[in-house]
Amino acid sequence: MENREMLDMVNQSYEKLTEQELTNLGVVLGSYRSFRGNRRAHIAYVGMPITTGKRFYEVLTREGVKTKEELITKCGPASLFELVIKPNIDEGIVFADELGRREDLLFIAPSVFEAKKWRWTDDAYMALWYRVIGEMAGRHIVMDGWEYSYGGLREVFFSMLLQWRIIRSFNLEVANQEFGLNLQPNQFYPSASDEIQAMWKMRIFDANGNEIRLDQALNKAVKAIQDLQERGFECDNLFNITWKLMQIPFFSPFLMSADPIRRDMSPLYYGAYDQLHSMKN
């Protein structure tokens, strides 16, 4: 697997979009890109569950079902929205507002944005938030239980791609043209290289302000999968993205360097690594 393939893993959402979704995505991204200046220093992205997450599995357990389809069959077509999506949205907005009271930054809460009239798919939403994180955010903050959310885990995977320098100058064309980022020189980053270096500074924090490193993220994701498997849930999607998260260091220039980030390849990392391999076997 090459670095380009690591980017393609995320780009799958973009490739699935219809022409109408691509048009609408361009309109929304254009509004975000209208914010000029040093965006990364003033914008944080807040990862929050919407359609899945811990509440989703708690609701399924309470109702004695194992899938979204079974929940809808038992409790009605509005049950997923009423029992999972709406509470997740409300809780996410409250969390982002609380962050705004703590710190003088702009916090992007994805649960506020709703494109139901455009009939956006999950892939369209993910394509948007990947680009917002990659182009604009200097910080990525996650709510408690993020590891149970497929979308939340994908976003953490993406931010780790940035942090571990999977996007570098030699594959900038891939990042811009195929991955859909718009990394262009501006007054704060006079060259594309400067923009990339700013992107590499992405850091992820939990709800209490503690930084989440790769080994910690991987360990939490593995524990979530183990918990769900023990409760009888199918979690192939979570497993697949966690497997990719585990692979990141092996495609990073840090692997052969003495950079401090290599501390993330700790006993905690290798413990989760072994557990993932044992699940796969």
Residue 62 lies in a domain: yes
Per-residue pLDDT of the chain (281 residues; tens, 9 = 90+): 455 566 666 666 677 788 888 888 888 888 888 888 888 899 999 999 999 999 999 999 999 999 999 999 999 999 999 999 999 999 999 999 999 999 999 999 998 888 777 788 888 888 889 889 988 899 999 999 999 999 999 999 999 988 888 876 555 555 555 444 555 545 444 456 677 788 888 999 999 999 999 999 999 999 999 999 999 999 999 999 999 999 988 887 766 555 656 677 888 999 999 999 998 87
In a domain, 172, yes or no: yes
Range of the domain at 40: 3-217
Please report whether residue 96 resides in a domain: yes
Number of domains in the chain: 1
267 within a domain of the structure (yes/no): no
Residue 259's pLDDT is 62
Q: Could you tell me if residue 251 is inside a domain? A: no
- Give the model's pLDDT for residue 188: 46
**pLDDT on residue 228:** 97
* The pLDDT of residue 70: 97
Does some domain include residue 199? yes
Residue 119 lies in a domain: yes
So what's the pLDDT on residue 253? Answer: 73
pLDDT for position 166: 80
Secondary structure of the chain as H, E, C letters: CCHHHHHHHHHHHHHCCCHHHHHHHHHHHHHHHCCCCCHHHCEEEEECCCCCCHHHHHHHHHHCCCCHHHHHHHHCCCHHHHHHHHHHHHHHHHHHHHHHHHCCCEEECHHHCCCHHHCCCHHHHHHHHHHHHHHHCCEEEECCCHHHCHHHHHHHHHHHHHHCCCCCHHHHHHHHHHCCCCCCCCCCCCCHHHHHHHHCCCEEECCCCCECCHHHHHHHHHHHHHHHHHCCCCCHHHHHHHHHHHHHHHHCHHHHCCCHHHHHCCHHHHHHHHHHHHHHC
In a domain, 235, yes or no: no
